Amino acid sequence: MITAKPALTIYRVLERSLLSPEFIEHVKTAEHAVDPTFVENDRPRDYLWSDEIVAATKAFALVDQNGNRVAEFPTLAEAEAAAASATVTFGVQVGGKEAVKTAAKG
């Protein structure tokens, strides 16, 4: 079995009704966001945009390097803990049982 650490990024999930039209336009143009209700948590921003993001945050999501939402959490602390402890495990099963292959050095 092979275990690896996944590359996960924390995003904020925002309530659209709490976002100003100016913020939505800014995120689409400056951050190239397809969905303005889904923004990277640790991206440096002007404090005015950050204040609006914090006020509109309804959840935190873990996103893999392909942009897939892996999981969603109600708090930043839970998302950070999940990201820190996340692993990807690769294994091989044969006939429903895990197969283990050991290579011998000759």
103: confidence class by pLDDT, cuts 50, 70, 90: very low
Average pLDDT over residues 7-15: 94
Mean pLDDT over each residue of the chain, to the nearest integer: 87
Q: Evaluate whether 8 touches 70 at the Cβ level (below 8 Å).
A: yes
Domain ranges of the chain: 2-99
| DSSP state letters, 71-102 | EEESSHHHHHHHHHH--EEE-EEETTEEE---
Over the stretch 63-73, which tens digit does the pLDDT of each residue have?
A: 998 889 999 99
Q: Evaluate whether 15 touches 58 at the Cβ level (below 8 Å).
A: yes
Q: Reduced to 3 states, what is the DSSP secondary structure of residue 47?
A: helix
This prediction's pTM: 0.77
Helix axes 47-56 and 21-30, enclosed angle (nearest 10): 110
Average pLDDT over residues 46-53: 91
